[in-house]
Amino acid sequence: MDAARPVKGRGAPAHGSKTSPDRAKPAPEEATVDFGRRRVSPEEKSARVAEVFRTVAERYDAMNDLMSGGLHRVLKRIAVDSTGLRPGQRALDLAGGTGDLSRLLAPVVGPAGAVVLCDVNASMLAVGRDRVIDAGLANVETVRADAEALPFAAESFDGVVIAFGLRNLTDKERGLREIHRVLRPGGSAVVLEFSTARDPWIARASGAWQSLWPLLGRVVTGDAAPYRYLVESIAVHPERAVLATMMEDAGFVDVSADGLLGGVVALHRGRK
């Protein structure tokens, strides 16, 4: 629920009423952020998102395959192809989790290039690191870091990809500015994220399928809560035109926004 707004002009409490000094006052709306459909403090969102991904890390890819019918793998390959990266260049897989994009990026940049798999969640990153090692990819490095405060120098990467991770950031605008900062001039940022289908029939069908995800999550992972959050976070994520404007405000040029799967997913691309 939205945090209550302060009411102006209200007088002192009625005679005999008491206000507990220990009772936490609701944060003003401008000091809160979305966590699904609820408004919470930035600190609480960070903690809750961390817990969501901690609980699903081991079965994350299996659930993605189930929820998308395997199409998330095709979408991520499209995102990697959209970066325009070449052999010898340096790529950042941001909010990369289990490393499926890193494993796609590694052969693109080749042995002379480098990929950094970056995620703030230790559980997800541990799974990603193990899978990179199992794949024998010597040009992939793992770094645990917050996407809103990246520990990399300015102009460190030729391309940045963030797939289905932007909506989990506490401050999306700050995250986009950080992506812009670490990109080299001429470098590309690619954002693959859920969106809102403009066709009402597709939107209804997508919504009906997504409503089943918490049940699937309970069956596969034993916990429905992370997938309730997933469905809610999709519903409140900015639609593609708004996100394109956010990227432009962060400094990107030549921003494009293309709907995929009938607009259920959007691919955004911007250049520094």
Q: Which of 25-29, 77-81, 200-204 has the lowest mean pLDDT?
A: 25-29
Task: Assess whether pLDDT exceeds 50 at residue 232.
Answer: yes
pLDDT of residue 194: 92
User: How far is 199 from 222, CA to CA, in rounded Å?
Assistant: 34
Task: Assess whether pLDDT exceeds 50 at residue 128.
Answer: yes
pLDDT of residue 63: 82
User: How far is 78 from 92, CA to CA, in rounded Å?
Assistant: 16
Pairing of β 253-260 and β 265-271: antiparallel
User: How far is 177 from 157, CA to CA, in rounded Å?
Assistant: 14
User: How far is 65 from 74, CA to CA, in rounded Å?
Assistant: 11
User: How far is 33 from 43, CA to CA, in rounded Å?
Assistant: 9
Is 264 strand, coil or helix?
coil
pLDDT of residue 226: 81
Helix pair 60-68, 71-82: axis angle to 10 deg:
100
Fold assignment, 53-271:
Rossmann fold (3.40.50)
Q: What distance separates the 2 farthest-apart alpha carbons in the chain?
A: 76
Report whether 271 contacts 179 (CB < 8 A).
no
Question: What are the boundaries of each domain within the chain?
Answer: 53-271
Instruction: Find residue 162's DSSP bridge partners.
Output: 94, 191
pLDDT of residue 66: 84
CA 100 vs CA 115, 126, 250: distances in Å: 12, 13, 27
Query: Which tens digits make up the pLDDT trace of 63-76?
Result: 888 888 889 999 99
pLDDT of residue 25: 43
pLDDT of residue 240: 93
Task: Assess whether pLDDT exceeds 80 at residue 224.
Answer: yes
Determine the average pLDDT of the residues in 214-228: 84
Query: Which tens digits make up the pLDDT trace of 130-179?
Result: 999 999 999 999 999 999 999 999 999 999 999 999 998 989 999 999 99
pLDDT of residue 233: 85
pLDDT of residue 52: 61
pLDDT of residue 39: 64
Query: Which tens digits make up the pLDDT trace of 37-72?
Result: 556 566 656 666 666 666 666 777 778 888 888 899
CA 44 vs CA 27, 50, 53: distances in Å: 12, 10, 14
Q: How confident is the model at residue 78 (pLDDT cuts 50, 70, 90)?
A: very high
Task: Assess whether pLDDT exceeds 60 at residue 18.
Answer: no
Query: Which tens digits make up the pLDDT trace of 90-110?
Result: 999 999 999 999 999 999 999
Task: Assess whether pLDDT exceeds 50 at residue 23.
Answer: no
Q: Which one is predicted more confidently, 116 or 35?
A: 116
DSSP 2: P
